[in-house]
Copies of this chain bind each other. A is one copy, B any other.
């Protein structure tokens, strides 16, 4: 957990017990959890943790650039600790979100977008996991 404290400090976040507990999960997960899922998960080891703190902490982590908030699924945001460019696949059956390595796709601008100042480009692939081979 020393690792989490260090990460927080590096991003100018005062490490409190709660923040370290939330960070210990959300900074290393591959699950793309929603805020409520983070709460459920961290509460297992930290039962007195309040919902408001989870939301506060996640929003703070986003603002300080420790994680990204993704708008992919209906009704709720999910959080992703991977900051390097990559794409996402959404399993329409289970709702699971998988990372798609950046070099799997090429997105090329063919024409200019006049008057638009681009900040990020997000590719979301939706479909199903077919039964056959192992996951990505």
Contact = CB atoms under 8 A, between A and B. Distances in A.
Given A71-B72, A98-B116, A115-B133, 5 more contacts: A105-B108, A105-B110, A115-B134, A116-B136, A123-B123
A contact face: mostly helix, strand, loop, or mixed: strand
Complex copy number for this chain: 2
Contacts of A9: none
Interface residues of A, number: 43
Nearest to A92: B119
Contacts of A75: 75
Interface of A: 71-75, 77, 89, 92, 98, 100-101, 103-111, 113-130, 132-136
A115 B91 CA distance: 11
